[in-house]
Amino acid sequence: MNCFHKHPTRCSWRQNAHFLLHLKLRLKYYSTQMSQASILQKIRDVKPLHQAHAHIIVSNLSENVFLCNRLMNAYASCGLVSKAQIIFSQIPNKNLVSWTILLSGLTKNGRFFEAVEVFYGMMVLQIRPNEITIASVLPAFGKLGRVLLGKSVHCYWIRCNFGDNVFVETGLIDMYSKFGCMRIARNVFDNMSVRNVVSWNAIISGYSDNGYGEEALRMFNLMKRKGMSGDIFTVMSLISLEDFRVGSGIHGLIVRSGYENDPLIRTALMGLYINGNFVNDAYRIFEEINKKDLVAWTSMLRGFSRSGNWRRTIEHFNKMMGENMIDYVSLITMLSGCSCSGALQQGRRMHALVLKTGFQDDLFVGSAVIDMYANCASMIDAKRYFGGMVERDAACWNALISGYGMIGCGNEAIVTFLKMKDSGLSPDESTLVSVLCACSHAGLVEQGLRIFDQMTKVWNLIPNLKHYACVVDLLGRSGRIYDAYLLTKRMHLKPGLEIYSSLLTACKIHRNFELGDEISRELIELKPNDAGHYILLSNMHALAGNWDCARMSRISLKSSNLKKNPGLSSMEINGEMFTFMASQTDHPHYLEIRDFLEGLILKIKAAGYEPDTDSVLLDVSDDVKRDILFHHSEKLAIAFGLMRTKPGAVVRITKNLRICDDCHLASKFVSKVCARVLVIKDAKRFHVFRDGVCSCRDWW
């Protein structure tokens, strides 16, 4: 039996035009407030609405609160919430309904900050909200993470003893789910006397969004047993469930639900394939969507960009421009793509497009531009854009701080952090991550510890696992492995992957093989499907000279059928992206790169470079080790960059993994011998090689 029902269709323009005709006729014969108001309620299109508004002004009814409320509602429903705000400001005798309509208009149009401001305005004027006001404002608290405000409104609602209200209760479930408080959300759900499909959807998507897949499925099955039909929202919340995909198969559910051809469902499925790195499957679905909207186009853009296919990313973006499918989200997606691949030239074009399209004052776009420049090691541009912004939020500051961190300017990062506090803006969880990372990259241990202490004690910020991972990294890198280890035992959270990874890296740097071995085993137990841990364990044994153990780790990796992420270096030349993989002899430019590289190695050897064969953690002869070293992806990229760019030009390379000791050493010599600046971004930070010295001062 099909347990899904279709969602209602929206009013068409034709229907609206029909209402307009009736509006005129009715106004002519019954010029009562009631008839105009009831018509306003049905208008869902801009054109007839403007005409109705004009008619109300002409009829001298613009001070009528009842009509104005309806007009505001109609404007807000068409997405013209600014119009509703103007009308609201002009109503002489606003009532609770006026406030509530404004609030719900703002939340429905995603303007949550303003909604909360309006709510505060009501509090100041001592206007007591009713159930509808509360239900309207709850989504804003949820979306903005205003936990205290949300909880106090919940208390107010209980105190007022309004009684059961499915709208408020469902809003509370949604809000607490967004806060990540699933226990409270479930408590509200369990105490409801009446539940509708929205309430069930709220609790299912709450569990699903918070990573409790099994519980989400359990609730879905319970919902079916209770005889409740699901709808498109139910399917949406189940689509992203890993358990569900693995178990019953998502396609079966979609076909049974009858939403197979729904563009929204298809876009959600695209996202699923993109996240699983199946870009071609996502593209197949994308092509099948008849009316592709902005979201579908942008989702596909993310897919191409994420898969590293730069040529298709650019082609797709150009098509979007041709189809007039560009908005601030697509710009952010493209900026983020440039940021990940270090594509500075394309990034500059995006910056120009931001100015051309008029999104330069948008905070989200702004932080994405700053992040792009920061990830292309162009802090001058990042700072200039930041300086020119009319308004800045925490994300903009954080992008700047982490930019300084990545390039190794720890002091600049701390100064920016202090300026952020002086500006009156509260640092958030990400600020602490950014500033701690910056301290870690620059080796500023004491400063980092002081900031962590201050943020947690003075600012009352509850440290999460990421923060602890940063502190463990900070201590571990500086050699205080035992302190880092003690912290993991003392903290109030159970150590996760990030913590153990940081500890393990520290063990590798400082050759603490005993603890390293213990941590590796913890890591493998925690996430057995990650090839990286086996590699680290093997490398650790190799460093200690335990070749048998190293081999055993590699064998267990092989037998588990896990594949290591291959090391890739990429670089942008004249807007085109070139990618190199270690020992890739089938690269179209392999022969010329090899010849150039041989000459380059001879030159740097003459200047004193000695290959660091310890970087090859395999039990092979030194000759083979040298051969492997000379074919690392970074070296291939450096050679290609020197060949293809003008003398004196900066060579910029992005690597997906961390740079190895030997490539780091060789880059220093290359920068001196060839009189070139090399900017290499690895998985964590930048290395700027200039005149034989690296900006990281060999600390990474």
Partner DNA sequence: TTAGGGTTAG
Spatial separation of the C-alpha atoms in residues 299 and 665, rounded to whole Å: 40
In whole angstroms, how close is the CB of 237 to DNA at the nearest point? 7
In whole angstroms, how close is the CB of 381 to DNA at the nearest point? 15
- How many residues touch DNA under the rule CB under 7 A: the total is 71
- Residue of 67, 81, 87, 135 interacting with DNA (CB under 7 A): 135
Q: Which stretch binds DNA (CB under 7 A): 155-163, 265-273, 587-595, 606-614?
A: 265-273
In whole angstroms, how close is the CB of 690 to DNA at the nearest point? 23
Report the residue number, 281 or 619, with the smaller CB distance to DNA: 281
In whole angstroms, how close is the CB of 620 to DNA at the nearest point? 31
3-state secondary structure of 199: helix
What would the two tokens of residue 179 be?
A: 């806060």
DSSP state of 493: S
**Site membership for DNA, residue 295 (CB under 7 A):** yes
**Site membership for DNA, residue 133 (CB under 7 A):** no
Give the helix/strand (H/E) hosting 345: helix 344-357
Report the residue number, 626 or 684, with the smaller CB distance to DNA: 684
Number of CB atoms found within 10 A of residue 329's CB:
17
Judge contact between 672 and 607, C-beta under 8 A.
Answer: yes
Spatial separation of the C-alpha atoms in residues 201 and 205, rounded to whole Å: 6
Q: Which stretch binds DNA (CB under 7 A): 210-218, 227-235, 588-596, 649-657?
A: 227-235
Q: What dihedral angle (degrees, nearest 10) is formed by the CA atoms of 14, 18, 20, 26?
A: -170
**Site membership for DNA, residue 174 (CB under 7 A):** yes
Report the residue number, 219 or 406, with the smaller CB distance to DNA: 406
Give the helix/strand (H/E) hosting 616: none
Give the helix/strand (H/E) hosting 391: none
Q: Name which of 566, 669, 582 is nearest 631 in CA terms.
A: 582
**Cα-based distances in Å from 79 to 1, 33, 111:** 38, 24, 11
Q: Which stretch binds DNA (CB under 7 A): 79-87, 359-367, 481-489, 650-658?
A: 359-367
**Site membership for DNA, residue 197 (CB under 7 A):** yes
**Site membership for DNA, residue 488 (CB under 7 A):** no
- DSSP H helices, 445-580, are 445-457, 465-477, 481-490, 497-509, 513-526, 531-544, 547-559
In whole angstroms, how close is the CB of 151 to DNA at the nearest point? 17
**Site membership for DNA, residue 293 (CB under 7 A):** yes
Give the helix/strand (H/E) hosting 12: none
**Site membership for DNA, residue 129 (CB under 7 A):** no
Of 151-170, binders to DNA (CB under 7 A) are 166-167, 170
Of 525-554, binders to DNA (CB under 7 A) are none
Of 5-64, binders to DNA (CB under 7 A) are 7
In whole angstroms, how close is the CB of 183 to DNA at the nearest point? 19
**Site membership for DNA, residue 328 (CB under 7 A):** yes
- Residue of 109, 130, 205, 538 interacting with DNA (CB under 7 A): 205
**Site membership for DNA, residue 199 (CB under 7 A):** yes
- Residue of 336, 416, 539, 656 interacting with DNA (CB under 7 A): 336
Report the residue number, 335 or 540, with the smaller CB distance to DNA: 335
**Site membership for DNA, residue 116 (CB under 7 A):** no
Of 620-649, binders to DNA (CB under 7 A) are none
Spatial separation of the C-alpha atoms in residues 226 and 220, rounded to whole Å: 10
DSSP state of 615: G
Sheet of 693-694: strand order equals: 576-581, 568-573, 651-655, 678-681, 686-690, 693-694
How would you classify residue 58: left for phi > 0, otherwise alpha for psi between -120 and 50, otherwise beta? alpha
Give the up-direction half-sphere exposure of residue 385: CA atoms within 13 A in the CB hemisphere.
29
Of 563-592, binders to DNA (CB under 7 A) are none
- Residue of 188, 202, 471, 696 interacting with DNA (CB under 7 A): 202
**Site membership for DNA, residue 104 (CB under 7 A):** yes
**Site membership for DNA, residue 150 (CB under 7 A):** no
**Site membership for DNA, residue 149 (CB under 7 A):** no
**Site membership for DNA, residue 296 (CB under 7 A):** yes
Of 659-678, binders to DNA (CB under 7 A) are none
In whole angstroms, how close is the CB of 395 to DNA at the nearest point? 3
Task: Please calculate the CA angle 300-301-305 and round it to the nearest 5 degrees.
Answer: 115
Collect all residues with Cβ–Cβ distance below 8 Å to 334 and sequence separation of at least 6.
Answer: 301, 305, 313, 317, 350
Report the residue number, 276 or 608, with the smaller CB distance to DNA: 276
State residue 582 phi and psi, 5-degree precision. -60, 140
Helical axes 531-544 vs 547-559, angle rounded to 10°: 170
**Site membership for DNA, residue 658 (CB under 7 A):** no
In whole angstroms, how close is the CB of 292 to DNA at the nearest point? 8
In whole angstroms, how close is the CB of 232 to DNA at the nearest point? 4
Report the residue number, 64 or 501, with the smaller CB distance to DNA: 501
Report the residue number, 91 or 172, with the smaller CB distance to DNA: 172
Judge contact between 524 and 536, C-beta under 8 A.
Answer: no
Report the residue number, 5 or 218, with the smaller CB distance to DNA: 5
**Site membership for DNA, residue 371 (CB under 7 A):** yes
Of 384-443, binders to DNA (CB under 7 A) are 394-395, 398-399, 402-403, 405-406, 428, 430, 433-434, 437
The DSSP annotation for 447-466 comes to HHHHHHHHHHHTS-PPP-HH
Report the residue number, 271 or 408, with the smaller CB distance to DNA: 271
Q: Name which of 361, 340, 336, 364 is nearest 350 in CA terms.
A: 336
In whole angstroms, how close is the CB of 592 to DNA at the nearest point? 35
Of 60-79, binders to DNA (CB under 7 A) are none
In whole angstroms, how close is the CB of 327 to DNA at the nearest point? 5
- Residue of 198, 562, 674, 677 interacting with DNA (CB under 7 A): 198
Amino acid at position 454, single letter: Q
Q: Which stretch binds DNA (CB under 7 A): 74-82, 264-272, 584-592, 664-672?
A: 264-272
Q: Which residue has the tokens 């996430």?
A: 527
Judge contact between 299 and 313, C-beta under 8 A.
Answer: no
Number of CB atoms found within 10 A of residue 560's CB:
13
Number of CB atoms found within 10 A of residue 664's CB:
21
Spatial separation of the C-alpha atoms in residues 104 and 112, rounded to whole Å: 10
**Site membership for DNA, residue 136 (CB under 7 A):** yes
Spatial separation of the C-alpha atoms in residues 102 and 118, rounded to whole Å: 8
- Residue of 48, 129, 150, 171 interacting with DNA (CB under 7 A): 171
**Site membership for DNA, residue 130 (CB under 7 A):** no
**Site membership for DNA, residue 342 (CB under 7 A):** no
In whole angstroms, how close is the CB of 554 to DNA at the nearest point? 24
Q: Are strands 568-573 and 651-655 parallel, antiparallel or unpaired?
A: antiparallel
